[in-house]
Structure 1
């Protein structure tokens, strides 16, 4: 259980950080982190970090296609979470 807590904390920290780096790169017109990579991090457990970054950094909020994919990943994650811990 400790490992799971550490993993969830770490993946959310990494995801938030990657959203922040992508925002900074967008402002400086530098190479960006792909949406695919950001969504993959969210799918791997970092959706809370992604959501916090979207909310507090105001990053990726205007792009509806990204938001739809993000919330689809979030819903899949919630379903998987309840399926795993319902047993």
Structure 2
């Protein structure tokens, strides 16, 4: 269980950092992080870090296609969580 919390901390830190980096690159009109890479971090557990970055940095909040994919990943993760820890 300790490793799960460590993993979640690291993946969420990475997700937040990648969203922040992408926002910085966007402001400088430089090469951006691919959305599939941002969503991959979310898929592997970084949804909380990504969500915090989206709210705090106001990044990716106007892209409806991205938000649909993001919230679909979140819904799947919530469902899996309740299935695994239903006991």
Provide the TM-score with structure 1 as the length reference.
0.96
Q: Please, which runs of 5 or more residues in structure 2 have no aligned partner?
A: none
Residue of structure 2 equivalent to 1:29? 29
CA RMSD of aligned residues (A): 0.7
Q: CA deviation at 1:86?
A: 1.9
Shift of 1:85: 1.6
Tell me the CA shift for residue 40 of structure 1.
0.6
Deviations 1:47-72 (A, max 9, x none): 00010000000000011110111000
Unaligned runs of 5+ in 1: none
TM-score w.r.t. the length of structure 2 is 0.96
CA distance in 2, matches of 1:12, 1:85: 21
